[in-house]
Copies of this chain bind each other. A is one copy, B any other.
Amino acid sequence: MAALERGELALLRQIRARAAQNPLGRGIKLGIGDDCALISLRPGEELAVTTDLSIAGRHFRLDWHTPEAIGHRTLARGLSDLAAMGARPVAAFLSLGLPRELARRGAWMDRFLDAFFALAEAHKLPLAGGDLAESHVAVADIVLMGAVARGKALLRSGARAGDLLYVTGKLGGAVAGLGELEKLAGGAKRKSVGGLRIPKRLETALAAHLYPLPRIAQGLWLAQRGVASAALDISDGLSTDLAHLCEESGVCAEVNADSLPVHAGATLAQALHGGEDYELLFAARPDARVPQAIAGVPVTRIGTVMRRRAGRPMVTLMTARGAEPLEARGWEHFA
Q: Quick check: which of A80-88, A190-198, A258-266 contacts chain B, the rest being far away?
A: A80-88
- Across the interface, A49 reaches (CB within 8 A) one of B37, B87, B150, namely B37
**A104 CA / B132 CA spacing, docked (Å):** 27
- Across the interface, A33 reaches (CB within 8 A) one of B30, B95, B233, B248, namely B248
Do the beta carbons of B131 and A52 come within 8 Å of each other?
yes
Specify which chain B residues have a CB less than 8 angstroms from the CB of A52 in the assembled complex: 1-2, 95, 131
Do the beta carbons of B35 and A139 come within 8 Å of each other?
no
User: A301 within 8 Å of B by Cβ?
Assistant: no
| Given contact pairs A84-B35, A85-B35, A136-B137, A93 touches B49 in the complex (Cβ within 8 A) | yes
By beta carbon, the residue of chain B nearest A39 is B47
Specify which chain B residues have a CB less than 8 angstroms from the CB of A39 in the assembled complex: 46-47, 49
| Given contact pairs A40-B46, A93-B143, A3 touches B129 in the complex (Cβ within 8 A) | no
By beta carbon, the residue of chain B nearest A156 is B34
Kindly report how many copies of this chain are found in the complex they form together.
Answer: 2
Do the beta carbons of A141 and B95 come within 8 Å of each other?
yes
| Given contact pairs A35-B232, A136-B137, A240-B3, A51 touches B153 in the complex (Cβ within 8 A) | no
User: A287 within 8 Å of B by Cβ?
Assistant: no
By beta carbon, the residue of chain B nearest A231 is B35
Chain A window 22-63, contacts with chain B (Cβ cutoff 8 Å), 1 for yes, 0 for no: 000000011001111111110100111111110101110000
**A29 CA / B332 CA spacing, docked (Å):** 31
User: A331 within 8 Å of B by Cβ?
Assistant: yes
User: A271 within 8 Å of B by Cβ?
Assistant: no
| Given contact pairs A93-B51, A240-B3, A38 touches B30 in the complex (Cβ within 8 A) | no
A240 to chain B, nearest CB (A): 7
Q: List 15 A-B contacts (CB under 8 A).
A: A1-B52, A2-B236, A5-B335, A29-B46, A34-B248, A38-B48, A38-B85, A39-B47, A40-B46, A40-B47, A49-B91, A49-B93, A53-B95, A55-B133, A95-B95
Give chain A's interface residues, CB within 8 Å of chain B. Answer: 1-3, 5, 29-30, 33-41, 43, 46-53, 55, 57-59, 77, 81-82, 84-85, 87, 91, 93, 95-97, 128-137, 139, 141, 143, 145-146, 148, 150, 153, 155-157, 232-233, 235-237, 240, 248, 275-276, 330-333, 335
